[in-house]
Every structure is written in C-alpha cells, then in structure tokens.
Amino acid sequence: MRRQHIVLFALCLVGSAASASPATTQRIVAATNAFLATLEPDEKAAVNFASTDTAQKQRWSNLPGGVFKRAGLRWADLDETERAAWLEVMKITLSQEGYRRVMDEWRADDALAASSGGGRAQFGAGFYYIALIGAPSESEPWQWQWGGHHVTINASVAGPNLSLTPSFIGVQPASYTSADGKTVRPLGDIERDAFVLLGALDQEQRRAAILGRTAIDVVLGPGEDGKTLAPQGLRADRMSADQRAALLRLIAHYTGLVNEEDGALRTAEVQSHLGDTYFAWSGPTDPGSAIYFRVTGPSLVIEYGAQGSGTPTHIHGIYRDPTNDYGSRYTR
C-alpha cells in the first residue's frame, strides 16, 4: 500500500517540482559523511571535487582503466572499513533491485579479469573509482559518482531531489558463474522483457518499431552529453493497454534503479508522458541474439546494445533524462 500511495502522490506532482521526502536526502548525506570520516586526509583530497568541476561530472566511460583515465578514489586503495561505508551510500541511494543489479554488473568485471590475457586494459572491481563533486548537503546541489568498466552511476542530489542520469548500465561478460556456482546474468531480465514487448506487437507495429536488422551500439553513451535523439520507432499511443504495460515494465528496470520513493516519482513522471514515448529496435528478433533497443520520451532515453555477433558477450547501455542529466533541472 505504501508504494501505491507514493505513486498516486507522485502522479499529482509530475509536471511541477516533484520531489521525494527530505528524509531520504538526510540519510544519503549522513552515510556519505560517515564514509568521509573513514578516510585519511590524502584520500579525502583524492575523492573531493569542487561543485563547479564539470569536467569531473562528465569524466566517465565504459572503457577499462589503462584506456580511459578516471579520477577520484580507487576501490583497490580502500580498506574494508572504507569499502563498507561506501557501499552503505549506494544501498541508501539505490533500490534493493538497483543495488543488486549494479553489484552483479560490477562482479562481472572480476570474471572478465580472470579470463583476460592482461595487456594495457585494466579489468576488475579494483579499478572502479569514487568521486564526490561538491560537499554532501541536505540543501545545496552535489553529486556522487561511482564507476569503471561497463557500469557508472551518477547520483545528483539537490535538496529532496535525486537524479541517476546519466548512468551507464552495461556488463561484460553478459553471463558468468558466481562464487557459489550460480549463473548470473545481470541484465537478463531487461533482455527478457524487451523480447516480451517485441513479441506482443503485431506486424504493422513491428514495421514501425524495427529500424534495421543489424544491432548497433548506443548513440548517447559517454562523451555525448547534451546531445539528443530524434524520436524513432513505435509511439506508445499506438499500443494497446497490455502493450503499454509491457513497455512500462521494461522502463521500470531503469527508473527503479533509485530508492523506492524517488523511483516511484521518476516512474510516474515517465508514465505521465507515456503516449509520447517511442520504442525502437535494431537487430534480429530471436531471443539470444545480439540486439539493440531504445526507449525515448520527453524526459527519458534508454539504450541497450548487445555487442558482437551471435550470442551476446557483453552489453552497452545508457539511461538518460534529456531534461535533467546531472540534476540540471534542479539547479537552473
């Protein structure tokens, strides 16, 4: 019932200055300050950046260390107390599902490191970086940034407002075996729900949605801040109620990355513009193939691009809000 109440409240607020409870921000700020309290002076100097440091805000990539130069505090250089304190920041900011997904993506890089032949590229969890852009505050804008190869989260906080765009939601390898012997596919549910939506479309709708028969890479990935995509594909107002519900389930994997309160608000915002949202596809239409899909709306861009031919080996993905990347809507 609590989630339903939050969603109904959010639907009343979208289009205005919708925001979650200040209590969420208080918890994020408290956890971040607790993390800072675990650091040595040189570590604090490495992790802190000025709120005006636009270059650091945009310093993220899906490329591995050794190929792309990151700045901040490297995970390999933290002790267990410092690591545990940082993970608390992520747990409070993200939803349970979002945190699990991000952790599974991150662990995939250790699987890649174990199978790679070395060389210039640096794979593995140790090559992820933390940065704080601006001082943690319950009222003034600031950002935490965490990421490395194939996954980056940019969390922009401004008072009670919280944005996770832009974030890179990818993985390599797409599937791996965990330490307890289980097969892990961090983005498997996203791929499944994309095929469910595609399978629900009739032939005329598929002709509108399918842009080509070859999968492409993401268009608005790292280094593409401020750019936009022209709407392409099948518009949601041409979908049935069941098809729109399937589209929302797919979108919710992204809008639901953030904690429950902010996630409900974000989902409601996207849902309020659903009729003007487009679904597009490139690549084969058989499950297990390398595919690309895109969801675009007034405040939403989602891209998912499986790399390589045949069975996908790794996946690139982007989650953006053209009206609010880096929380820009909150600081205008």
Classify strands 142-148 and 129-133 as parallel, antiparallel or unpaired: antiparallel
Query: Distance between CA atoms of 289 and 283, rounded to whole angstroms?
Result: 8
Prior bond of 298 cis (ω within 30°): no
Q: How far lies 287's CA from each of 192, 197, 292, in Å?
A: 8, 12, 12
pLDDT at position 13: 38
Query: Which stretches of the chain score pLDDT less than 50?
Result: 1-18
Classify strands 151-158 and 142-148 as parallel, antiparallel or unpaired: antiparallel
pLDDT at position 12: 40
Q: How does pLDDT run across 135-152, given as a tens digit for each residue? A: 999 999 999 999 999 999
Q: How far lies 158's CA from each of 55, 199, 331, in Å?
A: 19, 40, 8
pLDDT at position 229: 92
Domain residue ranges of the chain, discontinuous segments joined by + = 2-331
Query: Would the pTM count as exceeding 0.85?
Result: yes
Q: How far lies 131's CA from each of 8, 136, 145, in Å?
A: 35, 12, 5
pLDDT at position 22: 83
